[in-house]
Structure 1
C-alpha cells in the first residue's frame, strides 16, 4: 500500500494540537471544532454519525460537562477514556482526576455505562435527584476525553458541550446551573480559532433558535460558523421546505461556512442509511485542517510566550519554601535586597536600581533633604515669636526663601495611611504663624516687665534667669515645629519601607506576615526613640541654662551694641561747610553717662537675647536634622532602615519562619500549576510544536 506523506503530516500536526489541548492552558486558544445544539435538536445523532461513538443511554448520563471526542488512526482498535481537569484546579484534585484512565478493547454499552458512571463519580457529578451530598454538583467544568483508535479511523476531533436549558428543575438543577451551562458554552465558542457547528432541527423556525444567537454573539460575521440541519424528513409544510432550501442556497440567514442537511436514523431504525453525514465529515475535516494550518504559527507564538511567562512567574516566586532552610534563604535574600536598595536610596545612587526609575517617590534622600531645607527655612523666617529689630531679615544672613512645595503636606498625609503611627507622631498639621512685627517701645516694655518679674540682687547687670525666660518665650514655636517635622519624616521613612517591601516581595501572604509579626513593632520602637530624642533636645535647648561656646555669640552682641551706637550717631551727625562730618559731644555724653540704668539693662537684654537666639536656632536646627533625622531615622545602627536585613532573618525562630515564609495552600497550588505548565514535558512539547511549524507540510 502506497504511503501518504501528506496524510501522515496532517495527522502529526493535529496530534500536536490535541497534546496542547491536553495541557488545558486556557490562555492559549487552539484550533477546535465545537458542536452546539439544544436538547432534542439531533446533536447526539450527528456526533455519533461523525465519530462512530454512541453515548450509552442510561439514567443520569446526559451531558454534564464538555466531552472531547478524538478519532485516531492506530494499528490497534480501542477506546481510551480520561479526564482533563478544569483550569485552575488544585494539585490534589488535578492528580486525582488525571489518574482516571480506562481503555476498552471491545465497545459494549454496559462497559461504557460503567466507565462514564465512574467518571461522573470522580468529577463529583450528582447523577440523580436522590444524591443529597452537598459536595456534589450537577455540571462540571472538567472535560471528559474519549479517544477512538483503529485502522479505519481518520484523525478528527470534536468537542461536545452540554445543551443549554432555560428552566431549572429543583432540586436536581438550579438557576445557578442554568447560568453555569450557558457560561460553559460561551467559554468554548469565544475562542477565535473555533469552528462552531450549530445543530438545528429543520422543523422549527431557525430565526428563533437561541443557540444560533449565541453563535452569532461569539462570531458576529458568521465567518467560522456552520449550520447543520437535522430531521429534514419531519418537514412537511411547503413553506418550511422552501425556507430550508433558501438557507442552503444562501438566500436566508447567512453563515460563511454555509449549511449542511443530514438525515440521521431514528433510535429504533436499524435499516435506513445515514444521509449527508459523509459529506459533512469531509467538509469538517477540511475546515479543521485549514484553520489548524492557518493558526499554527500563532499557536506556536502563544506557546512560547506563555512558557516564558510561566518561567518568569516561577522565578518571581523563588524556590519552593516547604523547608525551613529555604524559608530562611528566601527571607534572607529579601533582607539583602532591601538593604542594597536602601543604601542607593540614602546615597542618591538612583541609576543603580531600576526601582527608582519605575517609582520616583522612592528617592528617599532627595525627599528628606527637601523636607529638611523647608524645615530650616521655616525655622529661620517664622520660628521666633516676635521680631526684635526692624531689619530682622538682614541680620548677617542672605535673605532666601524656598519655593513653595507640597512635600511637607504630602508627608503629613502619609501619616493618616498608617494607624500604627498615630500614638507616636503628631498627626495634626501645624501651620506656623508669622512672628509679631517689630515695635521698639513694645519690645522694651515687654523686656522691662520680664526684668521686673525676675530680677535679682545684681547691680547694673541681669541674671541668667531673665535670659532664660525671654528666650523660652521667643522660642515657644520650637516644639510644634520640631515635632511636626520629625513626625513627617517618620511618615516618609515608614512609607518608603512599606513600598519597598511591597516591590521586592510580591507574595502578599509573606509580605503581610512579615510586616505585622516582625517589622511594625520594631519600626515603631525606632520612631519612639526618634521622638524621644527630639523632645530631649527641646528640653535642653529651651528649658536648660542658656549656654554657648560659639565665638559668634560674642561677635553678635558686640555688633548689636555697635549698631545701636551707629544708629544714634547717624541721627545726630552733621557736615560742616568744609565737608567735615561731626557728632556733638552731648550726644556721646548722653549715650554713655546720662543713660538710665534700666534702659541700659533693657538694651543689653535685647542684644543678648537676639544674639543668643540666632546661635541657638542655627545650632538646634542642625542638631535636629543631623541627629534625629540623619542618625535616628536614616543612618544610625538602630535606625528603622537597618531593621529588615539578613541578620534579622537569621535570628528568627523556626515557627516564625514557617508562619512568615511558609507557603499557604493557594501559593502551593499556584506553584504546582506553574511547574506543571513549564515542566520538561511541556517544554519538550513546545519545542516540538516550534519544530513542527518549520516543516514544509504538503497538504
Structure 2
C-alpha cells in the first residue's frame, strides 16, 4: 500500500477542498466523511493507528474526549501538524484562543505527543483526572482536534474518530451527563447523510447485540452507508463464533450494503513493533489454516480496508459535492435574508431614527400602491395578496350598495318588488367577497370601536303580506293634522324613518367590517416590512395602536352623524331628480289605471278612451285614497334619492376619507413625520437593540462570513 498513489492530482485537490471546508466547521454543513464509531473497548484506536500510521498516546484521558480528524497527505517533507477546530457557535474570544493552538514537528516522539496532547486538552478545557477540580473544566468537548500527517509515503486519506460509547460514568471524572453528551455527539456524526459509518466491533462478542449497530441502523435504516469493521479475531476461540464471523465477511448474514471487513489489532503487550511489522504479523495470522479462507478476500486486513475506504471516500465526495455546493448557496442566502430582516445595526439615535424612518417610508410607499391598485409597483402584492387593499374595499362597497338597494327598505312599495331602475347592478362580487367570519376579527383592541361585525339583513316585507298602502293609511290616521287634501312633513318623516330602519345596522356592520379590513392590512403590512417581533410590538404598542384607534373612532362617529342627519332630520332634498321621480310615479299610476279601462279603436285616430272614463280616473277617489297615493309617491321618490345619496356619502366620506385617504386616516399614522418627532428615549425603547438581537446579529454575521468562505473554496 505504501508508495502507491491511488488518487490522481485532481482527486487530491477535491479531497483537500473538503478538508478545508471541514476546518471552517460551519454550523449545519454536512460534508462527505469517514467516521469511526464504537465502544471504548472495541479496538478503535488500533484500527485508526493501522489506517493512518499515527500512534495515539496510551496515557489515560488522551485522545478520547473529543472528535479527532486525522488527515494523511502525500508530501516530500515529513511533518505532523496538530491544531484545534473550534466548535460551531463558539464566541469570538474562544475561537481566537482555540485557533491560536498549533504545533508543528517533523519528528514526533511519544513523549512529544503526550506533551502536545496535554496542552491541547488544557486549551479545550478538558478535565484529565480527578485532581482537576476547576468547575469550568469538562470531561468532553465539542471542539475537534485536527492531526495532519504529511510525508512521502502517505496517501490522501481523512478519517474522523469520535469518543467511544460508554454507559457507566466514573465520578468525579465523568458523569451521567457525559454519557448522554458522548452518545449525542456520536449520533450527530452518524446522522449526517454524507457520512460513511465505520462501526468497529470486537469479534469475540455477539455482533447482533452490539448497541453501536443499533445506533447505526437508526441513522442509516437502509444500511447504504454503514460498514462493519471486526477487530480482535485472535480472541475468538469458539468455532461457531468464527463461522458466524466468516458468514458476515462473505455477506451471507449481512444487512449492511457496504458489508464487513476484518482486521487484526496488535496485542496489548506489543508496544514496540512498527506498522510494517504489524502488517506482516496480520498477513501471517490470516494465512493460518483457521482463517486462510479469508486471506485472499478484499475484506481481510488493514491494506484491503484502507483501499475500500479510500474508494468510498472518493466516491461519496464526487457524488455529494454538487449537493454540498447547493447547500452552501442556500444557507448563505438564508443567513443574508435573516440578517437583512434585522435591518441595519441600530446603535445611537441617528441609526435608530433612520431605521424607523425607512420602515415608515416603505409602509407609505406600499400603501400608496395598495390604494391606487398599482400592484405591479411592489413584489409584496405577489407574496401577500391580502394587501390588495383597494380591491377588497371596492368589493365590500359594491356589496354594501347592492344590499342597501335590494334589502335596505322595510317594505316593498309595489306588488312586483323594486322597479327595474332600482334593482342592484350585479357585479358578481358577492361570491368573491369573504364573509365576516372569514375576516380576522379577533383583535381585542377593536372591541370598543367596532359595533356590528355582521348583519344578516332580512328581506323586505312583501307588498301582499303587509301592504305599504295600508301602512301609510294607518300612519296618516294616527298623525294627521288639520290639512285638507294634503299631508304634513311629519307624516313623511315617520313613514320614511320606518322604511329606512335597517339603514343603521347595515351601515354599522359595513363600517365595522371596513375597520377590520384596514386594521388587518396595517398589521399584515407591518409584519411584512418589520419581521423583528420585538420592534414591531414596541412600535405597535407605543406609537401606532392609539392613533389608529382614534382614526377608526372618527370614522364610526362620522357614520353615526350621517345616520342622524338622514333618519332623524326632516326629509329634505334639492335634487331635481326627486320631482322627476314623483311625476314618473304619478304618470305610471295613471298609465296603469288607463290600461285597465275599456278601449275603443278608431282606424283614423287609433286607440281611444271615452271622456267620462278618463274623468273618473281623476275625480273618482276619496280623500284618503288620494292622500295615500301622494304619500306613497313622495316616499318612494324621496327614499330612492336619499338612498343613493346616503350610500355614496358613506362610501366616500366614512370609508374613502376617514379610513383610507384623509389626512387623519389610520393608514397615514405610521409616517416619517411621526418618526422625526420621537424623543431619544422613545427611539431607544422602540428601535434600540437588546442583547439578544445583538447576539443574533453577531452570530449571523459570523455565519455569513463562514458560508462565504465555504462558497469561495467551492469556486476554486
Give TM-score, length-normalised by structure 2.
0.83
Equivalence map 1:368-383=2 (5 Å): 368-383=393-408
CA gap 1:287/1:591 in 2 versus in 1, 3 angstroms: closer
Where does residue 659 of structure 2 map in the other structure?
633
2: distance between equivalents of 1:604 and 1:76? 117
Mapped contact 2:405–2:422 kept (Cα < 8 A): no
Structure 2 CA distance for aligned equivalents of residues 215 and 547 of structure 1: 88
Which whole-Å CA distance do the structure 1 matches of 2:710 and 2:384 have between them?
Answer: 39
Show the 5 A alignment for 1:363-512: 363-394=388-419, 396-397=421-422, 400-403=425-428, 405-406=430-431, 409-439=434-464, 442-512=467-537
Residues 477-486 or 559-568, more deviating:
559-568
2:300 aligned with 1:274: no
Question: Does structure 1 residue 337 correspond to structure 2 residue 338?
Answer: no
The match for 1:548 is 573
1:127 and 1:665 mapped to 2: Cα distance? 37
**Does 2:641 correspond to 1:588?**
no
Residue of structure 1 aligned with 2:549, choices 507, 524, 545:
524
Q: Are the aligned partners of 2:202 and 2:231 in contact in 1 as well (CA < 8 Å)? A: yes
Provide the rounded CA distance (Å) in 1 between the counterparts of 2:621 and 2:163: 111
Change (3 A) 1:18 1:572: same
Residues in 2 aligned to 1:255 and 1:586: alpha-carbon distance in whole angstroms: 109
d(CA) in 1 for partners of 2:257 and 2:424?
82
Map 1:207-226; keep pairs closer than 5 Å.
207-220=208-221, 222-226=223-227
Deviations 1:191-239 (A, max 9, x none): 3432322211111122322212333444455554333322222222233
For residues 264-343 of structure 1, what are the structure 2 equivalents within 5 Å?
264-266=266-268, 269-270=271-272, 274-275=278-279, 276=282, 279=303, 280-281=305-306, 284-285=309-310, 287-289=312-314, 291-293=316-318, 295-343=320-368
* Compared CA separation, residues 421 and 449, structure 1 to 2 (3 A): same
Q: What SS does the aligned partner of 2:42 have?
A: coil
Q: Which residue of 2 aligns with 1:262?
A: 264
Measured in 1, the distance between the counterparts of 2:530 and 2:640 equals: 48
| Partner Cα distance (2:222, 2:526) in 1 | 50
| CA distance in 1 between partners of 2:38 and 2:537 (Å) | 49
Task: Provide, for residues 61-83 of structure 1, a one-character-per-residue CA deviation record: whole Å limited to 9, x for no partner.
Answer: 68444333345659585653424
- The counterpart of 2:688, out of the listed 654, 657, 662, is 662
Q: Flag the 1:452–1:38 CA change in 2: closer, same or farther, 3 A.
A: same
Q: Given that residues 224 and 257 in structure 1 are in contact (C-alpha distance below 8 angstroms), is that contact kept between their aligned partners in structure 2?
A: no
The range that moved more, 273-282 or 650-659, is: 273-282
Matches of 1:74 and 1:98, distance apart in 2: 29
Q: Which runs of 5+ in 1 are unaligned?
A: 692-699
Give the Cα–Cα distance (whole angstroms) in 1 for the partners of residues 351 and 76 of structure 2: 48
1:153/1:425 Cα in 2 relative to 1: closer, same or farther (>3 Å)? farther
Name the structure 2 match of 1:187.
188
Change (3 A) 1:456 1:176: farther
**Structure 1 residues 502-560: Cα deviation after superposition (integer angstroms, max 9, x where no partner):** 23333333333333332222222211111111111101111112111101111122222
Q: CA deviation at 1:384?
A: 0.7
Hey, what does 1:696 align to over in structure 2?
none
- Residue number among 78, 87, 103 corresponding to 1:85 in the alignment: 87
Question: 2: CA distance between counterparts of 1:282 and 1:442?
Answer: 102
The CA deviation at 1:174 is 7.2
Distance 1:394 1:93, change over 3 A: farther
On the 8 A contact 2:37/2:212 being kept in 1, the answer is yes
SS at match of 1:44: helix
For 1:103, the equivalent position in structure 2 comes to 103
Cα distance between partner residues in 1 of 2:556 and 2:616? 54
Distance 1:553 1:435 in 2: 23
Q: Secondary structure at the match of 1:274?
A: helix
Residues 1:139 and 1:603: Cα distance change in structure 2 (over 3 Å): farther
More off after superposition, 665-674 vs 196-205: 665-674
Is the CA contact (8 Å cut-off) linking 2:68 and 2:145 kept in structure 1?
yes
TM-score, normalising length: structure 1: 0.85
Query: Aligned to 1:28, what secondary structure does the other structure show?
Result: coil
Instruction: Decide whether aligned partners of structure 1 residues 486 and 333 sit closer, same or farther in structure 2, where only a CA change above 3 A counts.
Output: same
State which drifts further: 545-554 or 232-241.
Answer: 232-241
Cα gap change, 1:97 to 1:83, in 2 (>3 Å)? farther
**In structure 1, what is the Cα distance between the partners aligned to 2:417 and 2:249?**
98
Deviations 1:653-690 (A, max 9, x none): 333333333344444344333322333x8645633432
What CA distance in whole angstroms lies between the structure 1 residues aligned with 2:246 and 2:6?
A: 40
3-state SS in 2 of match to 1:678: helix
Instruction: State how many pairs are aligned.
Output: 681
| Equivalent pair of 2:602/2:608 in contact (CA under 8 Å) | no
- Could you tell which deviates more after superposition, 439-448 or 387-396? 439-448
Is residue 453–residue 512 contact of structure 2 (8 Å, CA) maintained in 1? Answer: no
Check whether the contact 2:200–2:228 (CA below 8 A) recurs between aligned residues: yes
Contact 1:388 1:443 (C-alpha < 8 Å) held by counterparts? yes
1:427–1:91 Cα change, 3 Å? farther
The structure-2 alpha-carbon separation of the partners of 1:222 and 1:374, relative to structure 1 and needing over 3 Å to count, comes to closer
Following TM superposition, by how much is the alpha carbon of 1:240 offset from its aligned partner in structure 2, in angstroms? Answer: 2.4
Higher mean displacement: 216-225 or 465-474: 216-225
Question: Secondary structure at the residue paired with 1:416?
Answer: coil
Q: Deviations over 1:607-639 (max 9, x none)?
A: 222211111101000101111111111221221
Do residues 650 (structure 1) and 697 (structure 2) align?
A: no
Q: Give the Cα–Cα distance (whole angstroms) in 1 for the partners of residues 90 and 545 of structure 2.
A: 34
Q: Secondary structure in 2 aligned to 1:631?
A: helix
- Correspondence for 2:587 among 545, 562, 571: 562
RMSD (Å) for aligned C-alpha atoms: 3.8
User: Aligned residue for 2:20?
Assistant: 19
Hey, what's the Cα distance between the residues in 1 that align with 2:610 and 2:169?
A: 114
Contact 1:377 1:402 survives alignment (8 Å): no
Please report how far the alpha carbon of residue 32 of structure 1 lies from its aligned counterpart in structure 2 after TM superposition: 1.5
How many angstroms does 1:332 deviate by?
2.5
CA contact (8 A) 2:165 2:182 kept: yes
Compute the displacement of 1:605 (Å): 2.1
Task: Return closer, same or farther for 1:390/1:583 CA change in 2, 3 Å cut-off.
Answer: farther
Deviates more, 1:395-404 or 1:368-377: 395-404
Cα distance, 1:359 vs. partner?
3.5
